Structure 1
Amino acid sequence: MSQHDLPPVRIPVATYRLQFNRSFRFADATGLVSYLRELGISDIYASPYFQARVGSMHGYDIVDQNRLNPEVGSAADHDRFCAELARHGMGQLLDIVPNHMCIEGGENERWLDLLENGPSSLYADFFDIDWQPVKKELTEKVLLPILGDQYGAILENGELRLAFDEGAFSVRYYEHRLPIIPKTYRAILGHRLDELTRQFPPDYPDFQDLMSIINALDHLPPYTEQDEEKIRERYREKEVIKRRLWALYRENPIIREFVETNVAIFNGEPGNSHSFDLLDDLLRQQVYRLSHWRVATEEINYRRFFDINALGAIRMEIPRVFEETHRLVLELVRQGKVTGLRVDHADGLYNPADYLHRLQRACFLQSRLALLGELAANRSPEQGETELAENILQLYDELVEVSPQAKPFFIIGEKILMKGERLPEEWPVYSTTGYEFANAVTGLLVDTRNAREFDTIYNRFVRERMNFAEIAYDKKKLVMQVAMAGEVNTLGHYLNTISEMNRHTRDFTLNSLIKALVEVIACFPVYRTYINSREVNDRDHQYIEYAVAKAKRKNRAMNESIFAFIEDVLLLRFYESTGGRDREEWLNFVMKFQQITGPVMAKGLEDTTFYVYNRLVALNEVGGTPERFGITVEAFHGQNIERAKGQPLALLATSTHDTKRSEDVRARIAVLSEIPGKWRDWLSRWGRLNRHRKIVVDGKPVPDRNEEYLLYQTLLGAWPPGPLSAAGQREFAGRIKEYMLKAMREAKVNTSWINPEPVYEDAVCHFIDRILEERPDNQFRADLLQRLPPLVRCGMLNALSQTLLKIASPGIPDFYQGTELWDFSLVDPDNRRPVDYEKRRAALAALRRQLAETGPLAVARRLADAPEDGRIKLYLTWQALQFRQRQHRLFEEGKYIPLEVEGERAAHLCAFERYLNEATVLVVAPCSWMELAGETAVTPLGAAAWRETRLVVPFETAGRPFRSIFTGERFATELRDGRSTLPLARVLGNFPVALLEGVERE
């Protein structure tokens, strides 16, 4: 059986990301379907919408994977949304979160069960908890770093409150609800029991019932019990006890008063420290140990999502966990409501490839109901659906055996690829989520010739030599010190245990092993390796050898044999004496090691270094390499050719919910790369003008020079086009202040999330307010506004080229919500602001009317003359996507040929051809617009901009006609020097970019 024997996989033509939350619900999305279909979108790309923590604005803090988020809508609302998609022939790509769940707030029933039942919980192996951690006080306990201060202070302030409800005791800490182990109810119910004895005769039924409950509590198996029969007994009996106790509480006022008084006594009296001894003793007996949130850095014993304490990792490698967390999503797949999946943070999983294969297998079963029906026609009466499902899965297994890379369901995986890295071949996914394209197309807009000059400008302004590689190395070490020390220490102890297995390595000290591990992780060139068996592929072998070699070079004083030992362990070079059990320990260590390197890279690089190294921040994007100053047109073509061959159905993104800046902000900042001389002069002038506006904090002017450099780029990139009202000015200043606060805390130089410096932060906000204040004597603001118009216009033109390249390059174009018009958003939460869809719907309807009334040429010319309102981007997107819908096979399967450009302006163009059989389309996307436009804020078009520059069209004879998708004009190739060409002065005479469809001769 081959993949060709299967029903075709639904492949999106273009996706549109929607961020669901309480402000944007299923009903809102339902109303958008017709508009998005008209725009040319084939599939909604939905953020997670399973039940998340109350108030979640992003949906990644899921508390139950098998329920829809009630804040987003009901099951009926979801049904209507899916029905509307089906009515318009549209699919749904759903974002799922297999790595972690939200465990704070008292809404996660599985986590609450674990806190009540400990290692004997039905979910003890569901969450990734080390029940035998390095800190012995946490043996068979879990650290909960949720307190805002030291435990003792919180306790004696009365912030931890014992509560009783529906027969169960719990401790409340603000929004947190922490169950009490039923066996320890004895301490509460037994307190002052002699006083209750005096109020009831010994044979009083309710008193006897209470004593029976206390006796039953004494006989409950402990939470450390592992015998399955006793665990079942414990679960059964504790619920019986709760029901009995709740009945007594409701029916007997004396017992109710007794319980309530005891609860009040346990809650203590602030100012009387001894009054909290009872509650303290009770808490010491629980499964959890409450602590100040800072303790998580060094002692946390559950795996998290990065360093976020509220998100606990789950063990997806366990089949039961996979089955339980995928019931609803697989049911949606079976019903045809979900036609594709996006897997969040695949690198966090213990074995990503294994998970993705299981996911494909499960989706294959659920989505192939037609196969199920065919088998049903030939089955015997005694056969049931279970046997039919087994037959379908057998078909899948046969398919994978013949074609290991078979992908019968459209799945993409969130994976950040570093320079030169490729998606693991063993992953059965169609692609990553598209960060690589976002960085490539931004790099194309950067003038690579000016790298050294920008180095000089940046280093001189900040008065420091900034080395990206060294900053990244230092920041990864900082992350391991201040945010993930606990994970690294645990890994170091694990490595120490392995070293004790052999007499040649047992003398390595724990401290030296931890230090060497830190160095190797800090030098790791990629997010992680993917070793999952005793075979190490060449790719992972090279990454590990590189990291160890670099760590050794940076630490000449350390014992080289320690690094050799770590390399041996990571590459599974077992000793002859290493037994089978020890080999499994080695492999498990490597698998755990691989789960740590990714979060360290993400926190150290994306969330720290990218806010410190600010040379040209358009390049500081997720998955980017800011030390590389853009890419050439040839390099961009090379990446497109490689994608066309290996991943022609890859997702292509330019803005996402994770991007540091929107596509339009990056496109405008990239213009600075063309004008280093002007940028240098602006910085010098602005630095002088604003020097007196800085406040001195601890002897230093605030903001520092690097933050000031970032601020100026941010203002230039995000300033809205057109005049600002007073309210708009206030809103913009507020957004910039919020962005700079986040940027500074992420940089961890003068303030941080862990140790915020309010005085410093207030000084920066004051500086922003002063330099943006609309006053006659504010020379900076006036100068900034004077410099903006040509920058804004060229940024818009860059953005149009970027959008066209995304739609026409090999792959599937993805649009982040609202970006069909200009979007000058910054990093989240700025990019989650509500989108004005009525404005977009009305703009599209107006364009449609104008197109019908005046024709495409008049519409295109009018938009090119006045692009500020964003309708030109909407028009380009609409027309190009509609054409792509009509010619989807051409874009999915068509060849990719870079086109040569000749003439004076040849360096300003990226052009290529897509063709399939007789269908062909030429893509013409200019770049480096500032030289074309000069100092004017006018769109450069026609001969004035392009002069005698010509596009060479290979394999065509003179007179071959092409039709412009945007203007409707027809152009015929001309013979020049024996080659068939098109004059760009005509092709780009009325619209700044071109999409030319080959048509029949008239």
Structure 2
Amino acid sequence: MSETPRREGAPPAPTSTYRLQLRPGGGLGDARALAGYLDRLGVGALYTAPLLTAAPGSAHGYDGVDPRAVCPELGGEQARQDLAARLRELGMGLVADIVPNHMSVALPEANPWWWEVLRDGPDAEHAGHFDIDWSRGPIELPVLPDDGDGGAAALDRLELRDGALVLDGRRHPVAPGTDPPGAGPAEVHAAQHYRLVSWRRAAEAMSYRRFFDVTDLAAVRAEDPEVFDALHAEVLRWADRGELAGLRVDHPDGLADPGGYLRRLRDRFPGWIVAEKILHPGEEPPASWPIDGTTGYDALREVCGLFVDPAGEAPLTRLADSLGAPTDLPHLEEAAKEWAAGVLLAAETDRIARVLTGGRPDPAARRAVAALLASFPVYRTYLPEGERYWTRAVAAARRRLSGPPAPPPGSGAGDGSGADEGAPDGAAPPPRGKGARPGEAGAAREPHPGAPSGGAAAALAALEEIDRRVREDPAGELAVRIQQTSGMVMAKGVEDTAFYRATRFAALNEVGGDPGAFGTAPEEFHAAAARREAVRPAAMTTLSTHDTKRSEDVRARLAVLSEMPEEFAAAVRDWSRRRGLSEPSLDLLAWQTLVGTWPISAERLRGYLLKAAREAKLRTSWTDRDPAFEEEVAAWPERVLGDERLAADVARFVDRVRRPGWSNALGQKLLQLTMPGVPDVYQGTELWDLSLVDPDNRRAVDFTARDVLLERLESGRRPPVDATGEAKMHVVRQALHLRRRADLRGYLPLPAAGPAARHAVAFARGPRAAVVAVATRLPVGLAAAGGWRSTVLPLPWGRGTWRDLLSGRSFPAGPPGAPAAPRLGDLLSRYPVALLVREPGPGAPDQG
């Protein structure tokens, strides 16, 4: 396998990874067929979506139902072995995605463990595998469609058939001896260890822990050694066979003890391990975690921010204010987190409060828990290591409980939105047949009751009791459940609500992003890169994932808007006057999305905007639809694209930002591929990719076209920067192959010198600084100032010649004892990026 030097004694990390979303219908066979192409591209390891058995028809694999076998819909065990053999033949590795936090329970009969638990209750062999509160009585399954009758009409359709209770095609088990002859469905249902209840109960009365608010995903207890072994036996068997180079751990923040889990995993698997962990700016993974790093959202934020001009912040803020879109991000986030803790995840909040009170309901305890959950500055504290974040959260919760409650999200109070609630209370959610769509992924929306009831003094006393008990026993149930839930509140309140409302500049509204931080200074980028090299040099870096809100190339194009904010503002005001949406946040997001993805089909744009509108929960939501508003949103793409004059105006504007966007895209890609860390390439992004949030970013990739372009590059072609995206593949191929053959330890920032120095970002890698990456930033401002002019880039001293792997040009290393300092106008004359390798001259040492 391709290797990167790592700490002594550890198996090698991949030089790079390529993320592939496997599709039902033979995904492993397709991956095997693609392995040769990926090897030629320079990829070190294939990184797949989860491979274990998932719910029937799963498009992503994160809804596993049986960890004991490879998913049959992906091709099964033989196909996995065939893929492993092909990768071994090519010298490539396999990195597998594993999901230790939850399993799908959408179709009970598809999940053998869950079926047994529903049938046999707390005495079931696998009852302890799931995080279930049996003290609440029978498990409530919120699956009944509800048109305002509490699900009564749906229960009337319940049938007893073939030894199972059947509703709308979904089967549920019957415990032995509970269906005597002559018994009707209602009588049998009442005798089970579960109850089918209205989907509306999900937010308030869940007896099993969910994955976020998704009732179709039940949490498992991976902290139990027996459960750990059952979940990982098959994957670790692949590792024992030498068929696994690395593991990507999904959502460790949901586990009871992430550190303990990762230490147990490390004891069993010595290879490369990265954890899907969203870090707040400045936050680090706990030092005790024996992992190579995270999956790279922090690197995404740092790299993409380099191409955002801070000067654009004020004009874009004025634009949002003028349209009525909210710009007070801190207030939006606080209100949305309060809503998530008090409403959307009320069941989880209530369970924590009952742990505090010994099982009795207590409004003051519930209010204290909700305030605390809404006050965390990070996704999760890892006690006792994360005590400083815990202290900040408790202090913030004290202030929250001492003052007036924040208005619920979407109320229009204080957030500058001016929007009303839109959908009426009790409106029907999307249908499954007739009635609700239970288990809908995405945020639910209920009538907002405000903060949980209970006097402020009593709630403050409850908060102090929580603080005391958690500090005394940071591994106790109270501390664990608070930590498991705080990340849920952050994700649903901030990323999946506030980020869809604060649409001032969508390029910043990314997973792990900070929309309040307008850009990344080069010095900040260099400091972060140097720290990564020193602390976790084998952490994954990324620009696009299956979870990002928009692809790297969309963000690269949108970054151009920060350099021409007044022109964009004038255009949006004109476009909005002609064809604007009635909700300001979505209106502003829609125009940015249209510019960022142009040309885009009406179908793709419609799907994205409907999802964005429901996530924002201002005028509609996943579970409380406003049909009239959704009709307006659904019609908008055709109205805009069908307006020839307006569409032509948009196209002309895009023509102005397209080429600078390509420059940004090449720059951020080169930096990500050569900076410290193990770079991941998301499927298809070796060419321009203008994808939006899932499911848009899971569309099929045309690998046939990519293979043709790769053959052209292999013949020595140096493509122009044009609409084909071949130049991006050229950058990707050269950088990935370089990582395979060169030692890139070390990191040295290289400041440019001259009038346009701030438009260049460069660094050297390798023990002798023999590899240099150079990128152009803020290209619009660079052109407006007259280009590079006399700006030079002093290169590390060394004998020999510098050769640009992209342009093919060579530059002398400089006179003895002095560094070379090529003019950036010469160095970047063909491409806005350069990848330099020092080729030793006569008598000079090798680059090592």
Q: TM-score, normalised by structure 2?
A: 0.89
Shift of 1:551: 2.6
Q: Which amino acid aligns with 2:347?
A: G
Q: Distance in 2 between matches of 1:977 and 1:947?
A: 26
Match of 1:655 in 2: 544
Match of 1:816 in 2: 682
Match of 1:997 in 2: 837
Q: Distance in 1 between matches of 2:391 and 2:543?
A: 31
What is the DSSP-based 3-state SS (H/G/I as helix, E as strand, rest coil) of the residue aligned with 1:421? Answer: coil
Shift of 1:481: 3.6
410, 415, 422: which is aligned to 2:272? 410
- Equivalent residues in 2 for 1:486-565, closer than 5 Å: 486-497=347-358, 510-531=362-383, 538-552=387-401, 554-555=403-404, 559=456, 562-563=459-460, 565=462
Q: Which amino acid aligns with 1:178?
A: H
Deviations 1:846-877 (A, max 9, x none): 2222x1xxxxxxx43x413xx21010000111
Q: Distance in 2 between matches of 1:539 and 1:814?
A: 32
Match of 2:776 in 1: 926
- In the alignment, structure 1 residue 160 sits paired with structure 2 residue 11: no
Cα distance, 1:305–1:82 mapped onto 2, change above 3 Å: same
Deviations 1:293-317 (A, max 9, x none): 1111111110000000110001111
Q: Which amino acid aligns with 2:467?
A: L
733, 738, 752: which is aligned to 1:883? 738
What is the DSSP-based 3-state SS (H/G/I as helix, E as strand, rest coil) of the residue aligned with 1:326? Answer: helix
Match of 1:125 in 2: 128
| 8 Å Cα contact 2:317/2:504 also seen in 1 | yes
- In the alignment, structure 1 residue 733 sits paired with structure 2 residue 583: no
Cα distance, 1:554–1:666 mapped onto 2, change above 3 Å: farther
| 8 Å Cα contact 2:748/2:769 also seen in 1 | no
Cα distance, 1:586–1:946 mapped onto 2, change above 3 Å: closer
Cα distance, 1:558–1:418 mapped onto 2, change above 3 Å: farther
Deviations 1:819-848 (A, max 9, x none): 001110000000000011111111101222
Q: Which amino acid aligns with 2:45?
A: D
Match of 1:398 in 2: none
Deviations 1:83-122 (A, max 9, x none): 0000001111100000000012120011110111011111
- Equivalent residues in 2 for 1:556-705, closer than 5 Å: 559=456, 562-563=459-460, 565-570=462-467, 572=469, 587-690=476-579, 702-705=581-584
What is the DSSP-based 3-state SS (H/G/I as helix, E as strand, rest coil) of the residue aligned with 1:656? Answer: coil
Shift of 1:282: 1.8
- In the alignment, structure 1 residue 76 sits paired with structure 2 residue 70: no
Shift of 1:544: 3.5
Shift of 1:461: 2.0
51, 55, 58: which is aligned to 1:56? 58
Match of 2:44 in 1: 42
| 8 Å Cα contact 1:703/1:767 also seen in 2 | no
Deviations 1:141-189 (A, max 9, x none): 100111112777555675322111xxxx111123421111112122xx2
| 8 Å Cα contact 1:521/1:547 also seen in 2 | no
- In the alignment, structure 1 residue 910 sits paired with structure 2 residue 761: yes
Match of 2:301 in 1: 439
Match of 2:232 in 1: 326
| 8 Å Cα contact 1:572/1:586 also seen in 2 | no
Cα distance, 1:537–1:343 mapped onto 2, change above 3 Å: closer
Match of 1:899 in 2: 750
Shift of 1:981: 1.8
Shift of 1:768: 2.2
Q: Distance in 1 between matches of 2:503 and 2:42?
A: 37
Cα distance, 1:469–1:816 mapped onto 2, change above 3 Å: same
Q: Distance in 2 between matches of 1:968 and 1:672?
A: 32
- In the alignment, structure 1 residue 420 sits paired with structure 2 residue 295: no
| 8 Å Cα contact 1:526/1:543 also seen in 2 | no
Match of 1:112 in 2: 115
| 8 Å Cα contact 2:378/2:389 also seen in 1 | no
691, 704, 711: which is aligned to 1:838? 704
Q: Distance in 1 between matches of 2:155 and 2:470?
A: 55
Shift of 1:478: 1.8
Q: Distance in 1 between matches of 2:751 and 2:475?
A: 54
Q: Distance in 2 between matches of 1:586 and 1:412?
A: 24
Cα distance, 1:154–1:560 mapped onto 2, change above 3 Å: closer
Which fold has the larger relative contact order, with Cα–Cα distance below 8 Å and residues 6 or more apart in sequence?
Answer: 2
Q: Distance in 2 between matches of 1:5 and 1:829?
A: 38
- In the alignment, structure 1 residue 868 sits paired with structure 2 residue 723: yes
Shift of 1:542: 3.7
- In the alignment, structure 1 residue 470 sits paired with structure 2 residue 331: yes
Shift of 1:908: 0.8
Cα distance, 1:648–1:7 mapped onto 2, change above 3 Å: closer
What is the DSSP-based 3-state SS (H/G/I as helix, E as strand, rest coil) of the residue aligned with 1:655? Answer: coil
944, 948, 952: which is aligned to 2:794? 952
Identity of aligned residues (%): 37
Shift of 1:552: 4.6
Q: Which amino acid aligns with 2:789?
A: R
Q: Distance in 1 between matches of 2:489 and 2:144?
A: 25
Deviations 1:520-542 (A, max 9, x none): 211210111122xxx56543444
| 8 Å Cα contact 1:48/1:96 also seen in 2 | yes
More helix by share: 1
| 8 Å Cα contact 2:749/2:762 also seen in 1 | yes
Q: Distance in 1 between matches of 2:810 and 2:128?
A: 66
| 8 Å Cα contact 1:899/1:951 also seen in 2 | yes
- Equivalent residues in 2 for 1:960-975, closer than 5 Å: 961-973=801-813
Runs (5+) with no aligned partner, structure 2: 406-453, 843-848
Deviations 1:401-454 (A, max 9, x none): xxxxxxx32111111111221111111111110111111111111001232222
| 8 Å Cα contact 1:912/1:923 also seen in 2 | yes
Q: Which amino acid aligns with 1:163?
A: R
Deviations 1:531-577 (A, max 9, x none): 2xxx5654344444443354356459964674365245335477xxx
Q: Which amino acid aligns with 1:760?
A: F
Q: Distance in 1 between matches of 2:468 and 2:350?
A: 21
- Equivalent residues in 2 for 1:206-355, closer than 5 Å: 278-355=184-261
Cα distance, 1:560–1:338 mapped onto 2, change above 3 Å: same
| 8 Å Cα contact 1:746/1:753 also seen in 2 | yes
Deviations 1:229-259 (A, max 9, x none): xxxxxxxxxxxxxxxxxxxxxxxxxxxxxxx
971, 977, 981: which is aligned to 2:821? 981
What is the DSSP-based 3-state SS (H/G/I as helix, E as strand, rest coil) of the residue aligned with 1:172? Answer: strand
Cα distance, 1:437–1:175 mapped onto 2, change above 3 Å: farther
Match of 1:807 in 2: 673
Give the alignment's Cα RMSD to 1 decimal. 2.5
Q: Distance in 2 between matches of 1:904 and 1:7?
A: 48
Cα distance, 1:764–1:540 mapped onto 2, change above 3 Å: closer
Larger-Rg structure: 1
Deviations 1:178-226 (A, max 9, x none): 111112122xx2x3xxxxxxxxxxxxxxxxxxxxxxxxxxxxxxxxxxx
| 8 Å Cα contact 1:569/1:586 also seen in 2 | no
Q: Distance in 2 between matches of 1:439 and 1:995?
A: 22
What is the DSSP-based 3-state SS (H/G/I as helix, E as strand, rest coil) of the residue aligned with 2:689? Answer: coil
More off after superposition, 661-670 vs 899-908? 899-908
Count of aligned positions: 788
Shift of 1:338: 1.4
Shift of 1:960: 5.5
- In the alignment, structure 1 residue 448 sits paired with structure 2 residue 310: yes
- In the alignment, structure 1 residue 743 sits paired with structure 2 residue 622: no
Q: Distance in 1 between matches of 2:389 and 2:11?
A: 31
More off after superposition, 465-474 vs 537-546? 537-546
- In the alignment, structure 1 residue 708 sits paired with structure 2 residue 587: yes
Runs (5+) with no aligned partner, structure 1: 134-138, 192-265, 267-277, 364-407, 501-508, 575-582, 692-701, 721-728, 852-858, 935-939
Q: Which amino acid aligns with 1:685?
A: D
Cα distance, 1:530–1:756 mapped onto 2, change above 3 Å: same
